[in-house]
Amino acid sequence: MSMRIVNVTLPSAHFNGESTLPSLYEMTNVQALTRSALDEDDGLFIGYGGLRSLFPYRMQDLYDRAEEPTVYVGIEFENRYLKALFLPALGGRLWSLYDKVAGRELLYRNPVVRPCNLAVRNAWLAGGIEFNCGMIGHHPFTCSQIFAAQTALDDGTPVLRMYEFERIRRCVYQMDFFLPEESRVLLGRMRIVNPNRETVPMYWWTNMAVRENPRARNVIDATVSYNNKGGIVGKNPVPVSGGTDITYPSRNPVAIDYFWKIPDAARKFTAYLDENGYGFCQTSTARLQGRKLFVWGQGEGGARWQEFLTAGEPGRYVEIQAGLAHTQYECLPMPPLTAWEWVEAYGALSADPARVHGDWNGARDEVRERLEVLCPAAGLDSWLENTRSMAKRPAERVICSGSGWGALENLRRARDGDPLMCPQLDFGQVGAEQADWVRLLECGTLASEGQGSLCPPASWMFQREWTERVRASAGCHEKQLHLAAIALADGRLRDAGEAVAAALALRVTPTALFLRAQVERLNGDDRAAADSALEAHRLLPGDVSLARQAFAMALRAGMNDRVVAAYEASPAAVQADGRTAMTYAFALLRQGDTDRAEAVLMRDGGLSVTDIREGEISLTNLYLDIARARADAAGHAFDPAETDIPRRFDFRMFVPKKRG
């Protein structure tokens, strides 16, 4: 068995850093729901752990769709059965799991690194296995470098350790992966630590992408599923619901999540098996109780999304997932000063195809029996217990470093006399993002050296111990900016307004104007909000993050002429951005300038909005609105349901494929 560091070259987009703005907008997840139709004994924590925003994180929304050859550091495991490849720079994603015996890739291995807007911080990648910790959604580190280190089991088997400090829950997650010499499964020992003295909402889902096979079946030990239809969380029978066998992913007509209700006493597994009974399987110890299936459906919008996320056909994939809770509409309450641990296993499973694709009870029995031979349940429990001391030992060496936020939190803890987090983990050094907070910790001030600068703060903070320090710090413009942002994130509009006014009295900056715009927006004054945002844009006209928000606010306020004028006066980089161009096209159309709006939509072969959000149909609606305007001008009736939308613009996830 070997573990080695390799260079992996992949066609990759440019991520181009992070947004210059604090992420104070409301969270948007396709898991959002309005009400529940569950029974009183289902015992789900529906809605628990939801967030107003991702503050203090900043968005990763400035990426492009380039395919430039880029070298990534990879960590590769190999024995005579499997070869596994991890990429720490992409959230520690398991990029590939190859079955050497069958000569087949077990996962969907995306040929490109192409971020799209599906994660809580926007940027997300399709393919491989993603490990999500903290809050509902694809987590903050899914497209970020995390810590990677090397250690070993007691018998010398190499272990890849990956870990990071999560700032909202103020928790640490740690993943220790290993592939023993004679093991037919890759093993991952997961550990989440809540080092705080209060209960926190906790979330974990392992998201596994497998290549779609029209004849493959997802076998799990369940007879009931939870899902969200029309904003209502309810239950469906398994395998057949509404006349469709939903365990065959390709038979589902539109995008949908199924959360399989796994009985408490049942073994926790999910398998995706083809017509020959072969495929990928994941299993775990009991703590990881949830299992899920996500499909894009067979509609044009689902096909477009998969094409948008990958290098095109054949890019169809299915996601099978495993989580701490039964659904992704909830977090679980994690007690203070607690560690949650479990073991996961991933590998190839071969079963009798007649049983896999026959009676549902027989299919479940077949997979359970084969899985017990491949990876006995008692063996996983033993791995969990026997590696406990390894998980608490320092690593032998750090391969690559993650963020400096864990190091900063330990500096604060040392200053406040609190125990350090996870002493076995090396959180490295603080960096430029943490410099303001080190200065606050050591000198009691947030004042920047470049007084008069229009640049935004390098980072933000939303944690009780730091808020107290900000309030007690020396008076300055930066102090008031941070107090305003913290108050907005906390829903305290009056306090936010007072802090913004104090900041602007000291100095007029784009960030202060943007924060004032947020206060005005939340107070229901859309025109005032647009005026403030456009003034911020005027001060920094080349800032794409600011331009996107300012133009969107002005459009929402009905100030179409201001959008058009601001866009046309903007630098080339702002005009080239797909989202600002889409807002400009909407403004032109609402002014009655259909020809120019259509020219924007059709530029470069069709406008591409690189960060169009999962579930968002703005680009689709722009096409339909232009078509409606053309029909109205010609005196023709217009029916959007009968309108053929070019594939490039069709992102409707919940519209089935037309019968033809």
CB-CB neighbours of 420 under 10 Å: 14
Residues 6+ apart with CB under 8 A from 586: 555, 563, 597, 622, 625
Query: Any residues with CB less than 8 A from the CB of 24 and at least 6 apart, and which?
Result: 53, 55, 485, 488, 489, 515, 518
pLDDT in tens, 173-185: 999 999 999 999 9
Smallest CA-to-CA distance from 23 within 50, 56, 52 is with 56
Of residues 407 and 304, the one with the higher pLDDT is: 407
Same domain, 603 and 462: yes
- 3-class DSSP string for 432-454: HHHHHHHHHHHHCCCCCCCCCCC
Cα–Cα distance list, 289 to 11, 91, 227, 267, 434 (Å): 36, 23, 16, 9, 37
95 belongs to a structural domain: yes
- pLDDT, residue 26, reads 77
Residues 6+ apart with CB under 8 A from 214: 250
Q: Are residues 490 and 604 in the same domain?
A: yes
Say what percent of the chain tops pLDDT 70.
97
CB 233 within 8 A of CB 33: yes
| pLDDT over 80 (residue 367) | yes
Q: Could you tell me the CATH number of the domain that includes residue 55?
A: 2.70.98.10
| Helix, strand, coil % over all residues of the chain, rounded to 5 | 30, 25, 40
Look at residues 344, 372, 397 and tell me which one is the last residue of a structural domain.
397
pLDDT at 29 over 60: no
- The tokens of 482 are what? 């941070």
Token representation of residue 67: 């395919």
pLDDT tens for residues 370-399?
999 999 999 999 999 999 999 999 999 999
In angstroms, the CA 86 to CA 76 distance is 6
Domain assignment of residue 73, yes or no: yes
Here the CATH number for the domain that contains residue 564 is 1.25.40.1040
Confidence (pLDDT) at 641: 87
| 485 and 573 assigned to the same domain | yes
Look at residue 93 and tell me whether its pLDDT is greater than 60: yes
Between CA 48 and CA 526, with CA 60 as vertex, the angle to 5 degrees is 75
Domain count, the chain: 2
- The predicted structure's pLDDT at residue 38: 81
**pLDDT range class, residue 452, cuts 50, 70, 90:** low
Q: Examine residue 346 and state whether it is found in any structural domain, yes or no.
A: yes
Among 348, 274, 371, which Cα is nearest to 318's? Answer: 274
Q: Are 316 and 306 in contact, with CB atoms under 8 Å apart?
A: yes
Secondary structure (3-state) at 340: strand
Residue 453's pLDDT is 81
pLDDT of 159 higher than 80: yes
Token pair of 233, please?
A: 């969380």
Task: Please report the beta strands in 55-126, taking only residues with DSSP state E, as ranges in sequence order.
Answer: 68-78, 82-87, 93-99, 104-105, 116-119, 122-124
Predicted confidence at residue 48, as pLDDT, reads: 93
- Select from 348, 369, 397 the last residue of a domain: 397
Hey, how many other C-beta atoms are within 10 angstroms of the C-beta on 458?
14
pLDDT greater than 60 at residue 91:
yes
> CA 584, CA 590: separation in Å to the nearest integer?
10
What's the CA gap between 268 and 477, in Å, rounded? 54
Which residues fall within 8 angstroms of residue 644, CB to CB, at 6 or more apart?
none
- List beta partners, residue 116: 124
Residues 201 and 123 both lie in one domain = yes
Task: Kindly state whether residue 630 falls inside one of the protein's structural domains.
Answer: yes
pLDDT tens-digit profile of 572-596? 999 999 999 999 999 999 999 999 9
- Of 363, 380, 397, the residue at which a domain comes to its end is 397
Task: Taking residues 477-499, report their average pLDDT.
Answer: 97
pLDDT at 3: 96
At 531, is the secondary structure helix, strand, or coil?
helix
SS3 assignment, position 386 = helix
Segment 83-105 shows an average pLDDT of 99
The pLDDT, as a whole number, for residue 315 is: 76
| Rounded distance between C-alpha atoms, residue 147 and residue 129, angstroms | 17
Record the tokens describing residue 192, joined without a space.
Answer: 């989440």
Across 137-146, 147-156, 534-543, 635-644, least confident range = 635-644
Structure tokens at 392: 């608490």
Residue with tokens 């927006």: 521
Same domain, 545 and 635: yes
The pLDDT, as a whole number, for residue 301 is 87
Residue 433 lies in a domain: no
Helix (H) or strand (E) holding 528: helix 526-539
What the block records as the tokens of 529 is 């909000």
478 and 390 in a common domain:
no
The candidate with the shortest Cα–Cα distance to 22, out of 515, 431, 508, is 515
Domain that holds residue 480: 458-649
Asked whether the predicted pLDDT for residue 36 surpasses 90, the reply is no
pLDDT band of residue 25 (cuts 50, 70, 90) is: confident
What are the helix and strand counts (H, E) for the chain? 18, 28
pLDDT in tens, 519-568: 999 999 999 999 999 999 999 999 999 999 999 999 999 999 999 999 99
**Spatial separation of the C-alpha atoms in residues 452 and 100, rounded to whole Å:** 61
**Residue 449 to residue 333: CA distance in whole angstroms:** 42
The answer on 478 and 347 residing in a single domain is: no
Whole-angstrom Cα distance, residue 445 to residue 472?
9
Residue 166 placed within a domain: yes
Q: Would you say residue 439 lies in a domain?
A: no
Assess contact for 62 and 548: CB atoms under 8 A.
no
644, two tokens: 């053929």
For residue 74, what pLDDT band results from cuts at 50, 70 and 90?
very high
Q: What is the pLDDT of residue 312?
A: 72
* Distance of alpha carbon 493 from alpha carbon 27, whole angstroms: 18
Strand order in the sheet with 158-166: 217-219, 268-273, 278-284, 338-350, 185-194, 171-178, 158-166, 147-152, 397-400
Please, which pLDDT band fits residue 656 given cuts at 50, 70 and 90?
confident
Q: What is the mean pLDDT of residues 513-520?
A: 98
- DSSP assignment of 237-286, as one string? ESSEETTEETTSGGG--EEEEEEE---TTS-EEEEEE-TTSEEEEEEE-T
On whether both 369 and 469 belong to a single domain, the answer is no
446 in any annotated domain: no
Say yes or no: 507 and 629 in one domain.
yes
Does pLDDT of 660 surpass 60? no
Identify any residues that bridge with 225 across adjacent strands, giving them in sequence order: 236, 260
- Which helix or strand (DSSP H or E) is residue 537 part of? helix 526-539
What are the pLDDT digits (tens) for 249-287?
999 998 999 999 999 999 999 999 999 999 999 999 999
State whether 161 and 55 are in the same domain: yes
Q: Which residues, 6 or more positions from 560, have their beta carbon under 8 angstroms from its beta carbon?
A: 554, 587, 588, 590, 591
Pairwise CA distance, residues 345 & 208, whole Å: 12
Q: How far apart are CA 109 and CA 90, in angstroms?
A: 14
Average pLDDT of the chain is 95
Is residue 10 within 8 Å of residue 112, measured between CB atoms? yes
> Over the stretch 604-616, which tens digit does the pLDDT of each residue have?
999 999 999 998 9
